[in-house]
């Protein structure tokens, strides 16, 4: 997945991620990491960005 696709994907799930509980956030991060190939910590930084 290209960087533009990753940033669009992160932007799309950002709102759901902020409202989710801890368990759901874990699932979302696992899915994001699997789809994009990013490490979980990198995914947290990217999704958590304002």
Domain ranges of the chain: 3-48
How far, in Å, CA of 50 to CA of 34, rounded?
23
Where helices occur in the chain by DSSP H, the ranges are 3-19, 22-36, 40-48
Summarised one tens digit per residue, pLDDT across range 14-43 is: 999 999 999 999 999 999 999 999 999 999
Q: How far apart are CA 10 and CA 18, in angstroms?
A: 12
Give this prediction's pTM.
0.83
- Please count the other Cβ atoms lying within 10 Å of the Cβ belonging to residue 44: 16
């Amino acid at each position: 997945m290209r960087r533009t696709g990753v940033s669009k994907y992160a932007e799309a799930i950002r709102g759901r991620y902020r409202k989710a509980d801890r368990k759901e956030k874990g699932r979302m991060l696992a899915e994001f990491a699997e789809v994009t190939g990013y490490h979980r910590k990198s995914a947290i930084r990217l999704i958590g960005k304002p």
